[in-house]
Amino acid sequence: MSTLKIEGLNKTYPNGTQALKNVSLQLGTGMFGLLGPNGAGKSSLMRTLATLQEADSGSAFLDNIDILNDPMSIRKLLGYLPQEFGVYPKITAEQLLDHVAILKGVSNKSERKQLVDYLLQKVNLFDKRKKSVKGFSGGMKQRVGIAQALIGDPKLIIVDEPTAGLDPGERNRFHNLLAEVGEQVIVILSTHIVDDVRELCTNMAIMNEGAIVYSGTPNDALSALEGKIWRKQIERSEREQYKSNYQVISDKMVGGRPVIHVLSAGQPEGGFESIPPNLEDVFFTRTHQLTA
């Protein structure tokens, strides 16, 4: 069982944007969801842990390995699927994985072939191994991405916005693959898609404006909102009035009319119904409080 311990990470870019603000987390084996809106600092944290950028201060350790000061050691134990998984234009899935295996130090040709075949079967792409990756669908490219991240028997796997742009079928296949991988190693799933975290992760954190605004289990986050979420369908012309009078945490169209969710200890007014909180309510509540 491995442990990832992050303490007091800070990062400010040259343009003055403070991307990480005293970020501290502790993770064990399994799927960990890092949830937050675009621009929250998730990718900055992922790039720092993947040794692609340096932090200004703080520390990060995978067991006894100092990630910030010993990047070469952590890279041997790291699998990384970035938000944009680029591929060479004409390379096949088999050639791509073989190339990555060479880069990760698998020098024996027959051992590499055995490994590549195993990984292609694991991500259900063995029959497409001779096809150019450029022509793959988004979901197939992401499965190749996970396969290359598994090379080298990693202890830590980072996946950044892996299901953005996937159709529902591809997303489900990718979820099943991630869940299987997460049984053995630490997997950090960085996403702005609430359903990804709800369906896959036993522990999670929410980031906003560079800071951790929640860390714990999804169930604990939901329990904290029990009895406090109220729903009402309103007219479009009433939106601003309700936003002025109540803490409206979400506002979406249903059947052509807005449905609002309000955070309140008691019934806001007639017409509101109490509803069980969902993880989307947790997300909007935590990020709304910081920006309201």
Tell me the per-residue pLDDT of 235-279, one tens digit each, with 9 for 90 and over: 999 999 999 999 999 999 999 999 999 999 999 988 999 999 999
Q: Does position 165 have pLDDT exceeding 80, yes or no? A: no
Count of other CB atoms within 10 angstroms of residue 139: 20
Tell me the per-residue pLDDT of 183-210, one tens digit each, with 9 for 90 and over: 889 999 998 888 889 889 999 999 999 9
pLDDT at 63: 95
Q: What rounded mean pLDDT belongs to the chain?
A: 91
Strands annotated E in the chain: 3-12, 18-28, 30-35, 57-62, 65-66, 78-81, 156-160, 186-191, 203-208, 211-216, 229-233, 248-254, 257-263, 273-274
Q: Does position 226 have pLDDT exceeding 50, yes or no? A: yes
Distance CA 201, CA 272 (A): 31
Provide mean pLDDT across the span 2-22: 96
CB 166, CB 195: distance < 8 Å: no
Written as six digits, the tokens of 284 are: 């909007």
* Fold for the domain defined by 3-215: Rossmann fold (3.40.50)
Report DSSP state, residue 271: T
**Residue 76 CA to its chain's centroid (Å):** 22
Confidence of residue 51 (pLDDT cuts 50, 70, 90): very high
Distance CA 111, CA 115 (A): 6
pLDDT at 14: 96
Written as six digits, the tokens of 6 are: 């992050």
**pTM of the shown model:** 0.85
pLDDT at 181: 84
pLDDT at 167: 84
Q: Where are the domains of the chain?
A: 3-215, 227-275
Q: Does position 290 have pLDDT exceeding 70, yes or no? A: no
Confidence of residue 292 (pLDDT cuts 50, 70, 90): very low
| Helix, strand and coil in the chain, % to nearest 5 | 35, 30, 35
Half-sphere exposure of 217 (CA within 13 A, CB side): 5
Measured in degrees and rounded to the nearest 5, phi and psi for residue 184 equal: -110, -30
Tell me the per-residue pLDDT of 104-160, one tens digit each, with 9 for 90 and over: 889 999 999 999 999 999 888 999 999 999 888 888 888 898 899 999 889 999 998
- CA-nearest of 76, 63, 136 to 105 is 76
pLDDT at 184: 85
Strands 186-191 vs 156-160: parallel, antiparallel or unpaired: parallel
